Amino acid sequence: MNDDRLTEKLAAEVLGWKIAPGRFLKPDRGWTPRWHFAPLTKIEDAFLLLDRVANHYTLTADESEGFRAEVYVGARVGRASGEPRARTVTFALARALGLEVDS
Amino acid sequence: MKGVQQHRPEVLRALDLFAEPGQVVELRLLKVQCQGQRFPVTMSGYFDNLKLLADNASRYGGDAKGVYVTLNPVNPALFARAANRLRTAGKTDSLTSDADIIKRRWLPIDLDPVRPSDISSTDQEHSLAVERAFQIREELRQDRWPDPIVGDSGNGAHLLYPVELPTSDDGLVKRCLRALALRFDDDRVKIDQTVFNPARIWKLYGTVSRKGDSVRERPHRLARVLEVP
């Protein structure tokens, strides 16, 4: 799944947004330009997803192993590591949701 | 009297709403009073770098009657006319035409308080137009329209509704504006029914609207975004 498709999938499944050309449509008749929501590059958008759906998550960083994210959604766990951090968090979350993502 | 100044962060905020990264936008400055020029000129340039667009709007906007941008996406080939810079547009220089627009992304509604031409609005006239804009938004919400961007044009108010329409819309936007005018116009505030064409330029938020002289009763004001959905 490429980055655009993954972003759309997460917007739809986690946030309940609908996909329209150039925009995401929010449930309350609001909307946001598509380029404003970028959980793979903007850490605040990655946390928006985490806060919405994760039961529990652990983010760790150390010199030997770098940045790692572990996300629990229900009985599932998703893990990812590396930089940039927004991408790592979002990949871990996607895996916890059962989505296939490129490493 | 000392006038209101442009606000670069507001310019960048507005551009971020209208233009996706890399999109080509025409910046057009009307009636710029340049040194050494007897008559005011139009300046135009095409930008894919929105920070450079904001820089140019700031540098020259203070000498212009108004600073505008194309709302809808422009054919990227036009970038080569004046790439990330402003040029003086002479009579033979082309500006963005309807044929240069790729698609319609906005239904623009421009609310003007009724007043003589070429002067700024009074505070009361200005407030009336802004109140009318919010009233229209509320009534259209009841009709299940999406929420618009609400803007202050400096003299009146704007509503920008997101749409996804071809450039040739068979007159849909024009008819829509006419219907809205029939419903919401009165003798104090009117919807501009001429803004239907796809290459329409729109006041750049964060810049100053300078109609006539700025006097106490009718001051120049900053155009700005009031609400984002």
> HEC string of B1-63?
CCCCCCCHHHHHHHHHHHCCCCCCEEEEEEEECCCCCCCCEEEEEEECCHHHHHHHHHHHHCC
Give the nearest partner residue to B147 out of A21, A22, A29, using CB atoms.
A29
Q: Residue A41 corresponds to which tokens in the numbers above?
A: 């590059």
Q: Residue B176 corresponds to which tokens in the numbers above?
A: 């829509």
Q: Cα(A12)–Cα(A50) distance, rounded to whole angstroms?
A: 14
pLDDT (0 to 100) of residue A103: 65
pLDDT (0 to 100) of residue B3: 65
Verify whether the Cβ–Cβ distance B229 to A32 is below 8 Å.
yes
Share above pLDDT 90 across residues of chain B, in percent, rounded to a whole number: 82
The stretches of A1-103 forming alpha helices (DSSP H) are: 3-13, 43-53, 85-96
Total domains present in chain B = 1
pLDDT (0 to 100) of residue B1: 45
Which residues in chain A land under pLDDT 50? none
In a domain, B1, yes or no: no
Q: Residue A5 corresponds to which tokens in the numbers above?
A: 């498709």
In a domain, B77, yes or no: yes
- Mean pLDDT for the stretch of residues B180-200: 97
Burial B5-44 (b: 16+ CB within 10 A, else e): ebbeebbbbbbebbbeeebbbbbbbbebeeeeeeeebbbb
The residue among B164, B165, B225, B227 with the most chain A CBs within 10 A of its CB, best to mutate, is B164
- Mean pLDDT for the stretch of residues B183-197: 97
User: Dihedrals φ, ψ of A63, to 5°?
Assistant: -65, -35
Q: Using the structure block, give the residue that is written with the tokens 């080939």.
A: B77
The answer, for A42 touching chain B at a CB cutoff of 8 Å, is: no
> How many beta-carbon pairs under 8 angstroms link A with B?
31
In a domain, B2, yes or no: no
CB of A80 closer than 8 Å to CB of A99: no
For chain B, the average pLDDT equals 93
pLDDT (0 to 100) of residue A57: 95
In a domain, B208, yes or no: yes
| List of domains in chain A | 3-96 (3.30.2120.10)
The answer, for A19 touching chain B at a CB cutoff of 8 Å, is: no
In a domain, B193, yes or no: yes
Q: Residue A65 corresponds to which tokens in the numbers above?
A: 């192993």
Q: What is the CATH number of the domain that holds B24?
A: 3.90.920
pLDDT (0 to 100) of residue A28: 84
All residues at 6 or more sequence positions from A99 whose CB lies less than 8 Å from its CB, including other chains: A1, A6, A9, A10
pLDDT (0 to 100) of residue B60: 86
pLDDT in tens, B47-88: 999 999 999 998 888 889 999 999 999 999 999 999 999 999
Cross-strand pairs, B95: none
Task: Calculate how close chain A gets to B105, using CA atoms only, in Å.
Answer: 9
Task: Calculate how close chain B gets to A29, using CA atoms only, in Å.
Answer: 5
CB of B129 closer than 8 Å to CB of B157: yes
Write the ipTM.
0.76
The answer, for A25 touching chain B at a CB cutoff of 8 Å, is: yes
Q: Which domain holds residue B163?
A: 8-227
The residue among B104, B147, B149, B163 with the most chain A CBs within 10 A of its CB, best to mutate, is B147
Q: State in Å, rounded, how far the first CA of chain B is from the last one.
A: 36
In a domain, B32, yes or no: yes
CB of B207 closer than 8 Å to CB of B221: no
